[in-house]
Amino acid sequence: MVLAAVVLVLGLSQCKKQEQQTTTDTNGTVAITLDVKVHDGSRINVNPNNGMVAFEYGDVVYVASGQKFVGTLTNNGNTFAGNITNPTEGEPLYFFFLGNKTPEETLTPGSSTTCSVNISDQTSGYPVISFATSNETFTGAGLYTAFFLNKCALVKFDVTTASEAATCITGMKNKVTVNFAGNALIYSQEGDGVITLPAGSGEKWAILLPQEAVEAGEEGSAYSENGDYTGTFGAIPAITDNSLLTAGIEVNVITEAIPVGAISGKFTINTDGDQVYFSQGNLQYQASTNTWRFAENQWDYTGDANSGISETYDGWIDLFCWGTSGYNHGANCFHPWSTSETSSNYYAYGEYSYNLFDQTGKADWGYNAISNGGNTEGQWRTLTNVEWDYVLDSRSTLSGIRYAMANVNGVNGTILLPNDWDASIYDLNNANGGNYESNTITAADWTNTLEANGVVFLPAAGGRYGTSVDEAGSYGGYWSSSYYYYDSDYAFSMSFLYPGTCNNLRHSGFSVRLVRDKE
């Protein structure tokens, strides 16, 4: 068979704007959203008139800063979103799109300097390789611009074959190595330099990497994957970086403060439009070192370990009685390790009706310096019941979904969807209701798709009564800072979510999930 090659101009179409968010806290996280809304929603579809392609759901952009890999952004159907770690001020941001091919190496933000991908298999999609550099150096919040340029060429082969197998061509550069330290792409040939095209005769598109002109192939330089047929391919002109491209795709990068220790999603808490970020995990405390922290993962809880609660306990606890911030606010019990089973012992400032969310009172757990949440007093707080109610039942969201019951990485709980959640990102069942079995979510899907897009998970961590822990894994109670009857917390169980009747149960140990106000 004979394969004739014609090189066409390649452009990454409709990649219009990017939005990026960063923290003003030291050693913080940058949450980035790249706005790449496309008319057809797919990177697989190629426009044969101009050689343009578009992004598709699940594509990944790799980000470098300070000569190191710092994180990934994943396409959710309309935008790329994700977190990067500690971008270097005074240097540009670098964006690498590697055709949605998985790197051969395991990448660690802050330490990895290289990665490689092989683009041989092009039977189901086109591995477009693109690169962008922010024109301005990164200085935190502000406006940046960049241009995505494609580091490859879109080629059309005319295939004639009677084989039902895919068609392969040899002698091509098929490997891309990213040098994050040098912000460069290196192209090489791995093995016989095979590029595999879809099965069947007719016009076949392929992505070729930069290389010198290739003469018409000899017999056997093109063949069917099952070995039934062999043939040749036509001459291919030289391909160089950016020589066969459109003018580039303009990128606007807008930065916004995201606190250290926070999930990037924004949640409206009242009719005035005020918004908060939720902490990265439930609040935890170690009495032996007087240390507060957020759980490493959103699904983490300590469960039965709470039964060891004491003034000298060296384990971590995460079920607290009401108002037990450790600040002496006048109640008989105010220490995090308090176990009294008398509710009146927990009246902050000795008042039955005291609201924890009083910045002069310091009875709210958020008064404390959280070691992995900025480590500064007074940055966090607990939602009031009215605010919990608004988040769960009144908030307007892009998708119409506010919460759903789920099992995440084997842990039961409730997921909260941010204001801008796009329902196409992940298929959720029984939105705003259901039970734990409604949605079973793997750790990978949670981390890469849901949490990366700002979703919050509240694990069913149970309750503590004195030193006894009950219903961990099947029930969860979350304190609010309100004091009215029926208004003291939110709790959820297998099939429903409701405000708990905990005004007379202030001696009970429940979970605490802090928030930080969006400035």
pLDDT digits (tens, 9 = 90+) for 307-338: 999 999 999 999 999 999 999 998 999 999 99
Query: How does residue 91 score in pLDDT terms, banded at 50, 70 and 90?
Result: very high
Query: How does residue 13 score in pLDDT terms, banded at 50, 70 and 90?
Result: very low
- Between CA 343 and CA 307 the distance in angstroms is 19
Same domain, residue pair 381 and 279: yes
Residue 266's pLDDT is 93
* The last residue of a domain, from among 223, 254, 285: 254
> Measuring CA to CA, which residue among 301, 292, 294, 284 is closest to residue 259?
294
Q: Each residue of 403-441: pLDDT tens digit?
A: 999 999 999 999 999 998 988 889 999 888 788 999 999
Mean pLDDT of the chain: 81
Same domain, residue pair 13 and 40: yes
SS3 breakdown of the chain: % helix, strand, coil, rounded to 5?
A: 10, 35, 55
* Whether the predicted pLDDT of 262 surpasses 90: yes
What average pLDDT does the segment 135-151 reach?
A: 78
* Phi, psi of 516, rounded to the nearest 5 degrees: -130, 130
* The last residue of a domain, from among 199, 233, 254: 254
From residue 224, how far is each of 171, 217, 231 by CA, in Å?
15, 15, 9
Residue 221's pLDDT is 85
Of the two residues 146 and 121, the one the predictor is more confident about is 121
**Residue 22 near residue 87 (C-beta atoms within 8 A):** yes
> Measuring CA to CA, which residue among 1, 460, 29 is closest to residue 279?
29
* Whether the predicted pLDDT of 5 surpasses 60: no
Same domain, residue pair 7 and 53: yes
Same domain, residue pair 275 and 340: yes
Same domain, residue pair 205 and 328: no
* The last residue of a domain, from among 254, 282, 314: 254
Query: How does residue 294 score in pLDDT terms, banded at 50, 70 and 90?
Result: very high
The answer to the question of residue 86 being in a domain is yes
**Residue 366 near residue 517 (C-beta atoms within 8 A):** no
Same domain, residue pair 158 and 235: yes
**Residue 460 near residue 475 (C-beta atoms within 8 A):** yes
Q: Give the amino acid at 288.
A: S
The answer to the question of residue 102 being in a domain is yes
Same domain, residue pair 507 and 410: yes
When mean pLDDT is compared across 107-116, 140-149, 449-458, the lowest value belongs to 140-149
The answer to the question of residue 262 being in a domain is no
Kindly provide the b/e burial profile for residues 124-133, where b requires at least 16 CB atoms within 10 angstroms of the residue's own CB.
ebbbbbbbbb
pTM to 2 decimal places: 0.62
Same domain, residue pair 242 and 349: no
Length of the chain: 519
* Whether the predicted pLDDT of 8 surpasses 70: no
Same domain, residue pair 306 and 415: yes
* Whether the predicted pLDDT of 92 surpasses 80: yes
Same domain, residue pair 250 and 350: no
Read out DSSP for 79-121? EEEEEEE-PPTTS--EEEEETTPPPSSPP-TTT--EEEEE--B
* Whether the predicted pLDDT of 42 surpasses 50: no
* Whether the predicted pLDDT of 267 surpasses 90: yes
Number of folded domains in the chain? 2
Maximum CA extent, the chain: 91
Same domain, residue pair 478 and 378: yes
Query: How does residue 47 score in pLDDT terms, banded at 50, 70 and 90?
Result: low
The answer to the question of residue 377 being in a domain is yes
Of the two residues 375 and 230, the one the predictor is more confident about is 375
Query: How does residue 386 score in pLDDT terms, banded at 50, 70 and 90?
Result: confident
Query: How does residue 2 score in pLDDT terms, banded at 50, 70 and 90?
Result: very low
The answer to the question of residue 250 being in a domain is yes
* Phi, psi of 350, rounded to the nearest 5 degrees: 75, 10
Query: How does residue 114 score in pLDDT terms, banded at 50, 70 and 90?
Result: very high
From residue 368, how far is each of 250, 297, 429 by CA, in Å?
44, 20, 38
When mean pLDDT is compared across 79-93, 220-234, 253-267, 390-404, the lowest value belongs to 253-267
**Residue 301 near residue 461 (C-beta atoms within 8 A):** yes
Residue 162's pLDDT is 77
Query: How does residue 83 score in pLDDT terms, banded at 50, 70 and 90?
Result: confident
The answer to the question of residue 280 being in a domain is yes
Residue 126's pLDDT is 81
* Whether the predicted pLDDT of 244 surpasses 50: no
Residue 1's pLDDT is 23
Range of the domain at 59: 2-254
- Between CA 71 and CA 75 the distance in angstroms is 14
> Measuring CA to CA, which residue among 43, 135, 29 is closest to residue 82?
29
Q: How, if at all, do strands 2-8 and 230-233 pair?
A: parallel
Of the two residues 94 and 226, the one the predictor is more confident about is 94
- Between CA 448 and CA 306 the distance in angstroms is 31
The answer to the question of residue 164 being in a domain is yes
Of the two residues 185 and 477, the one the predictor is more confident about is 185
> Measuring CA to CA, which residue among 112, 108, 148, 118 is closest to residue 130?
148
Tokens of 224: 């069917």
Same domain, residue pair 344 and 273: yes
Residue 152's pLDDT is 85
The answer to the question of residue 260 being in a domain is no
